[in-house]
Each structure stands twice: as structure tokens, then as C-alpha cells.
Structure 1
Amino acid sequence: MKLKQFLLTVLLSAVFNSFLAAQSYKIIYEMKWKPTQSVTQYTTELCALITGNGQASFFESYENFRQDSLKTRIITEYAKNDSKGSLRIPSSTKTSLFRSLIIKNIVDKKITVEERLYIKTFVTEYPSCPIHWKIQPGNTEQVFGYKAEKAVCEFGGRTWTAWFTPDIPIMDGPYKFYGLPGLILKIQDSREDYIFEIKGLTKEENNIGKRNFGSQQSIKLSSKQWGSFWEGYKKQPSSILENLNTSQTTYVINGKNADSREVKEEYNKKEWNAMKAFENPIELSQPCN
């Protein structure tokens, strides 16, 4: 019996991944969360899940996605024109509170997280960390016009309830969630600190492959290294500005030298204020090592 279930799972995965390879979607979710456990009012932000190549999907705030796709389109068009003329890339005005880019490789069950801090991009690849879902037969709910089935899992120190629909055969969902036999339309933790719910679904191709063009080379860190770096960054965010200037290049923020005390104080204040939005983090513990 277990062998039959295993073979069925493999078959379904192959069918869904084949379907996904032929289809490209942009799925919009509303992300609602309580910045601290003591508040009752939610902070909200729209996020985008981008699927399409059968290998990886991308999840980030909608505002970041909009700017990343625009930058990619401009650079791609510039290359098509044999790099003639000047390349003008709109300056980033990213104001999203949720700043991570989550790349899920469903086939290999790998999750890569990009964190962009000023001009540096930190990349952390997490090992295979399957989510053990428990589907609740007979429990259904209407979500976004679809009949959705219920499933429960433990992830990141929280108990999560998801509503998914096999009518959209994409084994994916918001944030780091994936692995159900259909698209996750809604998911929330048992304390309702975090709620993700679908708000839009369109069949379209998108590309954010040139999002880091012009930035410094990405810095690859292990999950342990990232954790250590992040703890230090929370104490002194302006450490990211150290040793940027060279004899040939001077970095400027708001018209001021990035190495100045005033700029560092302003940067610290801005980052500390942004961190307040996630004093109640999505993950209370690391899902896997």
C-alpha cells in the first residue's frame, strides 16, 4: 500500500511539474501579519508568486516584483539593441516591509532566500526540507471562487492550516509553502499572527532574472553564517556601509558620503524602524538544518 502511495505521489508530481512547465502564472496574495504578539491590528502587504519554468518559483513583495521585472525588461531590451545608447535604469524606490525574495525549486525541494541590504545581496540556500502535510478529508471551504480542501502542517515553530485547490494543479503557495496537490489559496497559523490569501491569478510570463544587475557580486552564506550575520546586522545595520568607498569610488546616500557618521546614524534609524514590522517573526524556529 505504501509503495502504491509513493508511486502515485511521484506520478502526480511529474504530471503537475509538466503542466507547470507549460504554464506561467502570476499569483497575488495579501499578506497580513501582527508585527508583535501584543497587537491586534494587522499590517498588510501584497506579494507575488511567479511560476513558469517548471523548476523554480519566485515569491516577493509585489512592489519589489514590479521593480525587479521592470529592471529586467529594460536591460533585456538594451541587450537586444546591441547595447547602443545609454542604459537608464530607474532608481529603486522599494518601500516594502517584506524584503526577502524566496526562490523555491519544487523538483529538487530546495529553497533559496535572497536578502538585499543596500548594494549587497546575500544568498542562502537551505537544504531539502519537506513539509509534512496532513490533508483533512471532507473539510472544504470556498476560497477565491474555488472549492478548497484543508491541510495542516508544522512549520517554523508554528501550526499552519492551508486551503488548497486541485483545480489549479500547481504544487506551490505563498512564502516557503509548497507540496500540496494543488495551489494553496489561503494559509494561516493557529494564532492567526500570519495570514496569506489569494487576491489575483493571471496567466502571464514574467522575468526578474536581471534584478541584481549593477549590484555587487552576491554573497553566498550558509544558514548558520546568515543567522550570525543577521544577529550582528540587527545590532548595527550601518556595518553594511563599512569599507564601501575606494580610491576610485565614493558611495553617496541622499547626497552625503556613505562613510559619514550622519549617514550611518540615519541608516541605523531607518533599518531599526523597518525591523519593528517583524518583531513577531514568521518562523519562530528554523524548519530544518
Structure 2
Amino acid sequence: MKKIAVVALLIVAQISMAQTNRFVYQVTMKPNASDKKDVKTENAYLDISGEKSLFYSENRIKRDSILRSNFQSGGERGVNREQMESLRSNINYSVEKDKKSQKTTFKDRIGRDIYAYEEDRPLDWKVLAETTKIGDYKVQKAETEFAGRKWTAWFTTDLPYQDGPYKFTGLPGLIIKVEDSSGDYSFDLMKNYKISDFPEMNQFGNIIKLKRKDYLKQQEKFREDPMSFLAAGRGGGIAPPMRGGGGNPNPADMRKRMEERIKEEAKNNSNPIELQ
């Protein structure tokens, strides 16, 4: 009986170790440089396992689930435009951190494809003596400058993780809160729970790996001339059929609407999280 009990405990321990821990952050953003009263708030997940962590938008997973369901049905049902619009996100990127290699990979969609680069700027933290309590956690203050902004973070050693939202990592604990000095961006831990594994994400189009400087060039090219960028697309990002519009839209009208939408999105994202 003792042997059975020991084996059972080992199995439980292995299952527990294999689980992924999900930390839910509330992300508060002021992405429009000309309208700082326009505050966007949404949730994002930081999923952590023993090998890696992944930071991404909650709305992305919800959208992916709808698209996957539509694909599995052969596209017969189409996708409800209003529903998809309600799940729009200002967090269109994902950030993966590899525990073994200590590499941080940033992925973002530009046009039809996903561009991925390895972050080449290490975070240089200054850990301060100041402590306080946020929720149930005793936290300590740290500061850094990154990508043109000054950041203040509060981390805890109450949890066995050295990680944080977005690209923030490198502190001796989990980041509970981090915000920039201008108050434009803030990440606040709301809750955490265990999940069985990392979610499956849709990857429409190609994944193009490149250097960060080349990603910035592609991003600028897209802003300047999005339609020609899409026309010369390397991938096969296929838009699913939408319900709610009715009829077959004129290609010229579609182009005009897309240009207007991209210009509006550029205006609404004129205050990005990274300024440099």
C-alpha cells in the first residue's frame, strides 16, 4: 500500500508540474497621442510553464475560437461581423519567453503575415528598497528605461516565477504591476489559475523571422502604403466570410473601406507602447 501511495503522489506531483499557470492582467492604454482621454482597457494572459511563457490578448483567443469553429464547419455559417468587431484588440502581438535560452520573441501581424523577431535590448533593472502590498502579495519596487519610456514595476517573491507581462522579465520575482511614468500604459495582475496547456492559436499567413530593425521597416512601409503592401503579400491570409453586410461588395469599395480602416487604426495607435 505504501508503494502505491508513493507512486500516486509522484503522479500527482508530475501532473501539477506539467500544468500551465495563467496570470490575467488588466492592460490600460492611451494609444491615441492626440486624445489622451481615450483610455482603452482589456485583459491579457501571461501563461507560464516550466519551459516558456506566453503573453497575448484574451480577445485574440476568443476570436481564434470563433474562426476555428467556422473553419471546421467548412465556412458555412460565416462569421458574425458585429461579434468580431466587439472582440477587436489593441494587443495584436504576442510575446514568448524561452526559459532555457533566455530569449524573448515578439510576434505581430502586418498585413497578411506574422513577423517575428528576437528582442535584442536587455532590460536593466534598478531594484529599490521600497516595499508595499498589492492585493495579497508583498511587493518590491524596481525601475527601468525601455524603448523610450521609464517604467516602474512592483514584483513579488511570494510566487515561484521570475517573469512579467509584455517583454518585462529579469526581476527576482513575478511582476504584479508595471506602468510607465507618463501613465500611458499599465499592466495590473487581476487573478491567476491553472490551465491544462497553452492554447492553440490560429496562424493565418506565413511566419516571417527577421531582425527587429527590419520589422520596424516593414511596419513603416505598411503605414505608408498598406494596400500595395497587401497586394504584394507573401502569405495566404484568407479573410473568412462575414455575416451582417449582405451582398457581394464591390472590390473598389472594399479597397476604400480597408484604406480608411487602416488610416483610422494608425491614428488610434499613434502613441505605441514602444517609442524607440
Q: Is the aligned partner of 1:146 residue 2:142? A: no
Summarize deviations over 1:4-60 as a string: whole Å, max 9, x none. xxxxxxxxxxxxxxxx964511111111122245544222121111112x2321111
SS at match of 2:59: helix
What amino acid is the match of 2:136? G
Q: How far apart are the structure 1 equivalents of 2:127 and 2:91? A: 29
Pick one of 29, 34, 43 that aligns with 1:33. 29
Question: What 5-or-longer segments of structure 1 have no aligned partner?
Answer: 1-19, 79-84
Q: How far apart are the structure 2 equivalents of 1:178 and 1:99? A: 20
SS at match of 2:219: helix
Note the 1:153-192 alignment, pairs <5 A: 153-192=144-183
Q: Is the aligned partner of 1:51 residue 2:48? A: yes
- Cα displacement (A) at 1:119: 3.9
- Cα displacement (A) at 1:71: 6.8
Which residue does the alignment assign to 2:126? 134
SS at match of 1:270: helix
The 3 A distance-change label for structure 1 pair 90 and 104 is farther
Which residue does the alignment assign to 1:239? 228
TM-score with structure 1 setting the length: 0.74
SS at match of 1:172: coil
Q: How far apart are the structure 2 equivalents of 1:89 and 1:71? A: 11
Which residue does the alignment assign to 2:3? none
Which residue does the alignment assign to 1:228? 217
Equivalent pair of 1:35/1:278 in contact (CA under 8 Å) = yes
Which residue does the alignment assign to 1:101? 94
Pick one of 53, 62, 69 that aligns with 1:66. 62
Question: What 5-or-longer segments of structure 2 have no aligned partner?
Answer: 1-15
Note the 1:205-224 alignment, pairs <5 A: 205-212=196-203, 215-224=204-213
Q: How far apart are the structure 2 equivalents of 1:224 and 1:58? A: 23
Summarize deviations over 1:199-221 as a string: whole Å, max 9, x none. 12112233234521xx2332222
Equivalent pair of 2:165/2:175 in contact (CA under 8 Å) = yes
Equivalent pair of 1:117/1:240 in contact (CA under 8 Å) = no
The 3 A distance-change label for structure 1 pair 44 and 193 is same
SS at match of 1:241: helix
Q: How far apart are the structure 1 equivalents of 2:65 and 2:198? A: 6
Equivalent pair of 1:144/1:185 in contact (CA under 8 Å) = no
Q: Root-mean-square deviation (CA), in Å?
A: 3.3
TM-score with structure 2 setting the length: 0.77
Q: How far apart are the structure 2 equivalents of 1:276 and 1:242? A: 22
Summarize deviations over 1:171-228 as a string: whole Å, max 9, x none. 111111011111101001111111111112112233234521xx23322222122111
The 3 A distance-change label for structure 1 pair 284 and 89 is farther
Equivalent pair of 1:169/1:181 in contact (CA under 8 Å) = no
Equivalent pair of 1:58/1:104 in contact (CA under 8 Å) = yes
